[in-house]
Every structure is written in C-alpha cells, then in structure tokens.
A and B are shown apart, each in its own frame.
Chain A
C-alpha cells in the first residue's frame, strides 16, 4: 500500500474547508478592520476582532479537549485548568512588562505584591520578564502537570467516570489554591491591568489585530498537529483504546503511554489557548479554574461533534456566540438554554453538528450509489 503524501492525509474535505475559512479570517478581518472606513457596512470594529479572537482561543481549547475525549475516550473535566495555567503564565509575563508604570510605581514588584507588603519577587516569578521563557512556560507548566497527573492516573488504570471526577477535583483544588493571596498570583483579583506585549501596547488596534491573527494561526497549527496525530498509526491505536481498552492492552499496546502522550499534548494546546486568551480579554483570575468552565468546554465539543476536530472548534464558536447574544438579550434564559443544550445534544445529537451532517451525507451517497446497482440488478432479470 502506497502512503499518501502527508498533506493529503491531513486535509480531508472538512479540514480543507476549515483551514480555508481560517485563512480567509486571517486575511479579511485585519483588512476590513484596518483599511475600511468605520462607516462601511463591511467594517469589523476592533472590539469584535478581540471577541472573535476570544472565541477562536476557546476553539483551540475545544480542539485540545476533542483530541483526548473524541479520540481517546478520556473525558477530562479539568481542561480549564490547563487553559488557565497557560493564561497565568502569559499573565505573569504581561505583569512583568508593566514595570514601574503600576499604580504604586514599584520598579519590579506588581501592584498586588506591593499592596500585600511583599519585599521581593517570589522565585517562580523570575524569568517571566523574558517572552521566550514565558512562552516556554505556557507549554511546559500545563504539559508537566498533565504528564505527572496522567502518569499516575493512567498507570493505575483510573478510567471512565473516576478519571472525570479526579480531573474535576484537580481543577477545583487549583481554583482554591489560586484564590489564596499567599500563592503570589494576585489571589481573588488575578492578574490584570496589562500594558505591553512584546513592546506593543495591548490596547492598541494594531496589537489587537495581530493577536487575532496569532490566534487564528495557532488554531490552524493546533488543528494540523491534532490531525497529524489522529491520522497516523498512533491515532489508530488511540481510537482502538477508546473503543476497547482491554483488547488494545491484550494486543500488546502500552495503553498508558498512548494516553499519556495524547493527554500531555492536549494540555499544552489548552495552555497555548489560555495564553492567547489572556491578552485579548485583559484579565486572568482564579474563576477560570472553576469546574463549571471545564464542563462548559466539554459541551462545546459535544455540540460540534466529538471525534471530528473541526466540529469541536465549530461548537466552541457557535455556543459562545449564542452565549454572548443570550446573556446580553435575555440573561435569565442563558442557563436554561445551556442546560437544555447539554440534554438535547446527549439525547438526540450524540454525534454533534458535524458528525450528524457527515452521517446525512454518507446516507445520501449510499442511496445514490445503491440506485444504479438496483437498476442493474433489475435489468439482469
């Protein structure tokens, strides 16, 4: 059997459309925002650019979650923790960039430390003034946590709902920890009041557009990585583990290693998503760790269609757009709608939007290809 070129293996029909849409967004949105006059109906205002950027970083989180849930059967109720950790790493970099421009004007210490009478920077804040280090931490901190957590959990064969519960406990514990002022990460208020990123002012229009383009690029790259993983031989084993873990183990695969790789890569992707989310939203605080956020991310994947990658990203954007609209228009209805979404999707749309569409298409193709065969069979009689 000849191997298809990598690029063709990665790009099935959905993927091509997805990357095409991303490329179009990356080009058209900045053009429209920067070049078109504000009066033009096609002009995208800057706040909308940031809002879209926020949705797309959620989409990256959903993509990461789909990699472990859709392809490996690990329902993580703690992916929000990895997202938030990446966000905190970026937030720490942004805090250090404020320098002496804080309210208290301290040359090194962020405002909240001056406020708490801290005399010097805690050890874990060192290095975050350099972007490359911070960028490394965005990947390393969530990745390391996922590696250690997964190492223990998968080796002891903690699966199914038990795993879901302890991931939830993990993010809950982290939330409590980050709420503490002693943690040295801003406590209840988190990190905010950012000024610069890489020397450019965070609030400026051009920076916001650049952040948007960076998010689109990260999402595209994340998609390619995830797609590469699931189409490779490794990915086939992953699916085998999802469908029959014991059988895969009896066939000689080291199940825990496969799971661990997927879990760690997914956590790093979630970390990147968080790092892109923070400068566009302008704040990171411990409520990002709340178990409810993680579960909400799961429903994005479920709505879009688990095990489709594209669907996860689509689900994140669709659900969050609906959330923004509903919380503005009819705030009381949002939780009803979200709750109903959970129920309807699990009961009636187990494959999500993308999965259900694919099913229809396959059925139609099957009927079309079946018709000539019937005709041929009739003619033969």
Chain B
C-alpha cells in the first residue's frame, strides 16, 4: 500500500513539475526589460535571464546585485569590471573606450530577492556538477521556500542521479517545513527524507511530527526508522574506529609477542623501537623534502624497509650487548631493557629535541570517502591494511621458512630445540631483530596518526603488554584476536564511560582476566609447568 502511494505521488509530482519547464528566452529581451529602469520590468527581466540559459546570465545578475550594471546612452547594457573598465553585457566583450555618462541600474528590495533566487537557481543549473551539488546542499540547509520553483526546474534538467537525489531531498526539506504544502506533498517529502537517513533528516522529521495526524504519524514512523539506522551506523562506525585502533595495537604488540614468546623476556625498550621507526620516517622525509620534493609521496614506501632495518639493528645490538647475558633471569632483563629505553629516549631527545616533530602525510593518506554513511579516512584504511599485511607476512615467515621453523621450535621447547642442533643463541638474536624491526615498521604507521616525540614509545608500552598477555604467549593468532578485541572494546566503552574511564575499565578487566587465565586467551599447550 505505501508503495502504491509512492508511485501515485511520483506521478503527480512529475505532472506538476513538467509545466514548470519554460522555453529558453532570448537574453536581448531580458536585457531590454532591465534597461527600462522600471522596477517591475527589471524583476521580470531578471527572472527571464535566469531561465534563459545564457552563458552571461550569472555575470549580469551578479553585476546587478553589486550595482555595477549600467545603461549607456545608446541603451546598451554595460557591466563595470574591476579597475573601472566596461564590457557589453549581452556579448561579454570588453569596450575599447569608456562610454559617455552610463546610468547605473538601481534596484529595490523586491528585485534584490528576485536576484538572490535567480542566482540560487543559476548555480542549481550551473554546468559544473560540483557547483550544482553544493547549491543543492545549500538549499537543503537553508530550506528557503523561494528557491522551490528554481529547484523544480533544476530537478527536471538534472542528469546526474545523485545530484538529482540531493535536489529532491532539498525540495522535500522545503516542502516539509512549508505550511502551504499539502499533506500528500509532505508524505512524499517524509519518504524522501527517511531514505536520506542522517542527522539532518532526523532533525527535519522530528520537527514534522507536530503536523496534521497523517503527517505526524508518518513522520514518527520515519523518525523511528532513521534512528534505528543511525544507531546501526554509529555502531559500525565504532567497530571501524575499534578496528583501526586495534590494528595500531597489533602493529605495536606483534613484535613484542615474538620476543616475549621466543625468549620469555619482557623487552621494556620495545616502545623505543617504535619511536626509532617514527624518527627514521622523519629523517627520510626531511631528506626528501630538501633534495627531491617531487618524490614526497614515495617517502613512506622507502621509510618502511629503512625503519625495519634501523630498528632491527638497534634491537640486535641490544640483544648481543645486554640481554644475552641475562638469560634465565627475566626480571633482571626487564630492568636492563628499561635502562636501555631510558637511554634511547634521552638520546633521541638530545639529537632531535624534546618537542613533537612534524611528519607529513603523502597525498594518498589524506582525505576520506563515504561508505554507505560511514566516513572512512584513507590514512586509517591504509594503516589497517598495512598491519594486516605485516601480520600475514609474519605468519608466512614463521610457517613457511626454515627460519620460522627454528623460531617456533625454540618457542615451544628451547632445550629440545638445542639438542636437535638449532643454534638457539643465533635464533634469539634473529628473533629479537625481527621483533624490533616490526616495531620499527609500526613506528612508520604511528608517525602518521600520532605525535612523533621521544615519549611516543612510552604511550604504547603498557597497551602492547596488555595485548600480548591477553592473547597468550607464543601464539600470533592470539595477538591478532586480542589486539582487535581490545581496540573495539575500547571504542565501545568510550561513548558510555569517556575515554579515560573506558581505558581504566579495560585495564581492570585485563587484570581480572589474567587471574582467570594466567597464560592468556590462546595459551600454548605443553608440559612446561614453570619457567
């Protein structure tokens, strides 16, 4: 039944709109009317001009509004350009010499309104699609009933479907607020706005619930459906934000999961590897800026392997120089690596200064697009994809290469692996370098969304530990699940509890969770009772 109603309404609407289309009039006739100097004629002329489709129409009307339109002694209409030069309104050609005693065309308030309506209609019918889109949205926001006739004509002419839809929505918004519109028109408007289903439409529909019984019932139903849709959208948006936060956590934690899993030690300097990766990006960008500004978009693809190398080297040096001597003493390792992290932080602070450093975003990281009502920024999208790619690459490296096989063997049973001839110290160094390198790559991604400062690593270290401990040691799938879960949980708690309280709740939850499952969500099964 409602569908039938819609069809009928659409037909009625089409019939109403059709006669509104008028034949293009000659610009000369309109100009003659304007040149007459009588207010009613000028108004008629403006209207004619707006409908004429003349290429100079907009320039002429704007000149009229600004008081730059004048009539020469030979009754030609002239436009005064910047710098006092004149041009012929009908042709747009510049005049060689200044005319004798041009008389400015004066206007009153009535004409001023006609001029505004005409300009709105002209942009609604502008040749540029983007201008038409903006005009349609402007009308939607202003809901100016005066624009209705121009809008009808623009809808009839419009050929781009989505702009036509926007104009229809603008028309619906005007009709819904118009006391003179019939209930039928209003019902049609409600359907259109319910299909738009965003906050603006919701506000308009809420306002419409005060109307006649039929209209208000329809408006209430529409409000309910729009609210439902908006709730769903905001949930999806939260999931997306959560995924994006989770992928950042994944990047920061996955390297930690390797070092913690393989060697059972806590690397407190892990966050500083992330920081080193971010500063590597900064250095590369500075170099490119000063030597080859045209290649700026290539800085990130270059920075990723470079950050991996730099962080991996620092990590390997850390392992060879310090951690190697502390095997079997995990708590001491924790302290020593904390010392390393302090030194690295201070070193970066001494070299680059304590303030935030600007890391620019390449063109493909900027901007956003709309996916069924979800606003998705390219930067976040790339980071999600990047972290999943890193995860996949790491998975392949661990499952399909002999190096990965050795790492897995040492993770599961160090002594047995050593007995089978695996050089465990070498595996340790390589695994540590790998974990640090991945942290470095995480730094490249973080440089795009966070402040690059010497404290960058510190802000992620507690979070990444939580991810690793929650997911379970020695299991990368656990890390993936735990990072995404924590990210999404964080974003869902935020609207209810606020960002800080949400984070506190999450930490408390994790502390309690560890009591229940001390080895994490996906613990390795084995006979090792205690390390």
For the complex formed, measure the closest distance between the CB of A235 and the CB atoms of chain B, giving whole angstroms. 20
Taken together as a complex, chains A and B put the C-alpha atoms of A168 and B507 apart, in Å, by 10
* Cα of A216 to Cα of B512 in the assembled complex, Å: 38
Contact flags (1/0) for A345-360 with B, using CB distance below 8 Å?
Answer: 1110010000000000
Stretch at the interface among B136-144, B181-189, B334-342: B334-342
Contact residues on B (Cβ < 8 Å of other chain), bracket: 35 or more
A339 & B346 in contact (Cβ 8 Å cutoff): yes
* Cβ < 8 Å to A, chain B residues 312-335: 322, 325-326, 329-335
A347 touches B322 (CB 8 A): yes
Q: Which residues of B contact A159 (CB under 8 A)?
A: 530
- Number of residue pairs A-B, CB distance < 8 angstroms: 126
With A246-B530, A342-B335: A152-B322 Cβ-Cβ less than 8 Å = no
Contacts of A198 in B (CB 8 A): none
**Given the complex, which residues of B lie within 8 Å of A157, measured CB to CB?**
518
- Does A204 count as interface, using CB distance less than 8 angstroms? no
CB contacts (< 8 Å) of B462 on chain A: these are: 168-169, 172, 291
A343/B322 in contact, CB under 8 A = yes
As a 0/1 sequence over residues 241 to 254 of chain B, the CB contacts with chain A under 8 angstroms (1 = contact) are 00000000000000
A173, CB-defined interface residue at 8 Å: yes
Task: Give residues in A with beta carbon < 8 Å to B.
Answer: 75, 149, 152-153, 155-162, 164-166, 168-170, 172-173, 176-177, 179-180, 245-246, 291-292, 295, 298-299, 302, 332, 335-336, 338-343, 345-347, 350
Contact of B331 among A75, A172, A340 (CB under 8 A): A75
Assess the B507–A172 pair: CB atoms within 8 A: yes
Query: Is B510's CB within 8 Å of the partner chain A?
Result: yes
Q: How far is the CA of A347 from the CA of B336 in the complex (A)?
A: 8
Q: How far is the CA of A350 from the CA of B328 in the complex (A)?
A: 13
Is the CB–CB distance between B504 and A176 below 8 Å? yes
A165-B465 contact, Cβ under 8 Å, with A173-B507, A245-B530, A346-B332:
yes
Give the interface centre of A168, A169, A298, A302 by most chain B CB atoms within 10 Å: A169
Q: Which of A75, A152, A173, A180 contacts B515 (CB 8 A)?
A: A152
A172 vs B266: C-alpha distance when bound (angstroms): 17
Closest Cβ of chain A to B257, distance in Å, is: 13
Taking a contact as CB atoms under 8 Å apart, the answer to whether A335 and B345 are in contact is yes
Between A and B, 28 residue pairs with Cβ closer than 8 Å are A152-B512, A152-B515, A156-B518, A158-B514, A160-B331, A161-B265, A162-B469, A165-B266, A166-B469, A166-B510, A168-B465, A169-B510, A170-B507, A172-B507, A173-B508, A176-B503, A176-B507, A180-B500, A246-B530, A292-B458, A302-B335, A332-B346, A336-B346, A339-B338, A342-B336, A343-B336, A346-B326, A346-B335
Contact between B325 and A161, CB atoms less than 8 A apart: no
Mostly, the B contact residues are helix
B469 and A342 contacting across the interface, CB-CB below 8 Å: no
CA separation between A295 and B458, bound complex, in Å? 13
Identify the closest chain A residue to B516 (Cβ). A156
B108 at interface by CB-CB < 8 Å: no
B466 on the interface (CB 8 Å rule)? yes
Q: Which residues of A sit under 8 angstroms from B1, Cβ to Cβ? A: none
**CB–CB B340/A343 < 8 A:** yes
Whether A161 pairs with B511 at a CB distance below 8 angstroms is: no
**What is the bound-complex CA distance between A246 and B325, given in angstroms?**
26
Contacts of A335 in B (CB 8 A): 342-343, 345-346, 349
Contact residues in B for A341 (Cβ distance below 8 Å): 339
- Identify the closest chain A residue to B529 (Cβ): A246
Query: What distance in Å separates the Cβ of B337 from its nearest Cβ neighbour in chain A?
Result: 8
Q: Is B235 an interface residue (CB 8 A)?
A: no
Within 8 A of A (CB), among B254-279: 264-266
